[in-house]
């Protein structure tokens, strides 16, 4: 997906939200976990905004991966969404 195509970005974020909803509400679902990686802040906000919020769900954890000098580090934010704005 091109990060410049806002129509596709919106459609894919809606599909991701449907997957998240299925994982959380359907015990018979074959999908048990979703790991979503993105560099696009707008897509992150669209995909992580669930039920009127993006913070506080005990089943959701947020991480930020950073790479410096060929070393990747992961910072855990637990249930607090570290991305507060797409601006």
Which residues neighbour 39 within 8 Å (Cβ) at sequence distance 6 or greater?
Answer: 3
Mean pLDDT of 38-46: 87
Taking the CA atoms of residue 66, residue 38, residue 1 and residue 33 in that order, the dihedral angle to the nearest 10 degrees is: 130
Mean pLDDT of 55-60: 71
Mean pLDDT of 15-28: 91
Q: Residue 47: is its pLDDT beyond 60?
A: yes
Averaged confidence pLDDT in the chain = 85
4 pLDDT band, cuts 50/70/90, is low
Mean pLDDT of 24-40: 91
Q: Residue 79: is its pLDDT beyond 80?
A: yes
């Amino acid at each position: 997906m091109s990060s410049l195509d806002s129509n596709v970005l919106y459609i894919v974020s809606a599909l991701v939200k449907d997957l998240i909803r299925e994982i959380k509400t359907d015990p018979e679902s074959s999908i048990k976990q979703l790991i979503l990686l993105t560099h696009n802040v707008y897509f992150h906000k669209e995909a992580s905004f669930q039920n009127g919020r993006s913070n506080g769900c005990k089943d959701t954890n947020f991480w930020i991966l950073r790479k410096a000098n060929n070393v990747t580090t992961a910072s855990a934010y637990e249930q607090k969404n570290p991305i507060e704005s797409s601006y």
